[in-house]
Amino acid sequence: MSDLVVHEKPLTALDIQAQVNTIQHVMKQVMKQDVHYGIIPGTKTPSLYKPGAEKIMATFRLSADPVVTDMSDSDQIRYQVKVKLVSSGGLFVGAGIGECSSNEEKYKWRRAICDEEFEECSPDRRREKWTKGWQNKPNYKQKQIRTEPADLANTILKMAKKRALIDAVLTVTAASDCFTQDIEDLPEEYIHQEAPIRSAEPVATVGQADIDALMNAAKAAGVDAAYICQKAQIQTLEQLPLARFAGAMSHLQKLAQGATQ
């Protein structure tokens, strides 16, 4: 491991290049795609995940000191977190800010369990949202109801902390040349406006054992089946292609890590 270069005078070009080289070397030799970082469809720069940020922190012997600001109100759970990074010598080297709210699309709504639940929900806490069909299937409406913000409080807090930590690592270590952040948090339709053309050939889908594993991972991450379906742009878990099972599990595991840190 190496220490982050901390000087009062400006760094030389060689200092900066050495730091970038170290990050690139760690990325190549230690980090794994879809675990420490991921390539989001429609983007060029890899997105840094929390486990990857922690690897960079370990490389430069940095420790994190989070400061939480509760910005919640009667309609939402909302936290802003400022993560200060400190060198092994105890010097403050920089900070990052992250925020998360239960009013974000992926936390605010969930798929209705059944038509009866949807109908019994008050009109101001339910909606029908158009969802893009997967594998060239027609677009469809999905019945959704509002989540209970209090049920998501811990997840919201941990997500804000995760975002702040990644922001701090990218800023302090100048790793933005190698990584970006938060793109993985965007809804699919924001990442690329037009879905890629996919083959109309039959695709193998997950079995019941796979679905059970997904639901266990979803429970640990604090989300439900509707969240998985929304992310995968499918109507039911049975439609999830087997080829995407590993990616879905990896995403849920990263989400669970963010919700338990």
The answer to the question of residue 87 being in a domain is yes
What's the chain's average pLDDT? 83
pLDDT digits (tens, 9 = 90+) for 74-110: 889 999 999 999 998 899 999 999 999 999 988 999 9
What integer pLDDT is reported at residue 251 of this predicted model?
Answer: 86
| Interior angle at CA 18, CA 84 and CA 1, nearest 5 | 60
Q: Report pLDDT for 128.
A: 93
Q: Look at residue 206 and tell me if it is in a domain.
A: no
Mean pLDDT of 5-16: 65
Strand-by-strand arrangement of the 63-70 sheet: 63-70, 78-86, 92-101
The answer to whether residue 185 scores a pLDDT higher than 80 is no
For 143-154, the pLDDT digits (tens) are: 999 999 999 999
CB under 8 Å, gap of 24 or more: what pairs does 186-192 form? 187/105, 187/106, 188/132, 188/231, 188/233, 189/132, 191/40, 191/41, 191/42, 191/43, 192/41, 192/42
For range 120-131, the mean pLDDT: 92
pLDDT score of 3: 60
Q: Is residue 259 part of a domain?
A: no
Percent over 90 (pLDDT), the chain: 39
- The confidence band for 156, taking pLDDT boundaries of 50, 70 and 90, is very high
**In this structure, is residue 145 part of a structural domain?**
no
Percent of the chain topping pLDDT 70: 83
Q: Is the pLDDT of residue 5 over 70?
A: no
- Judge whether residue 69 has pLDDT over 80: yes
Q: What's the pLDDT band for 1 if we cut at 50, 70, 90?
A: low
Which of the four pLDDT bands, split at 50, 70 and 90, describes residue 194?
very low
Is residue 136 within 8 A of residue 150, CB to CB? The reply is no
Residue 250: what pLDDT?
86
Q: Is residue 224 part of a domain?
A: no
- Residue 200: band (very low, low, confident or very high) from pLDDT cuts 50, 70, 90: very low
Measured CA to CA in angstroms, residue 205 lies from 179, 200, 221 at distances of 32, 14, 23
Query: Range of 2's domain?
Result: 1-102+150-193
Position 205 scores a pLDDT of 82
Greater confidence, 241 or 197? Answer: 241
In a domain, 82, yes or no: yes
Cα distance from N-terminal residue to C-terminal residue, the chain: 23
Strand-pair category, 78-86 with 37-38: unpaired
Across the beta sheet with 140-146, the strand order is 109-111, 140-146, 126-131
Q: Is residue 35 part of a domain?
A: yes
Q: How far is the C-alpha of 75 from the C-alpha of 84, rounded, in Å?
A: 29
* The total number of structural domains that make up the chain: 1
Asked if the structure places residue 71 within a domain, the reply is: yes
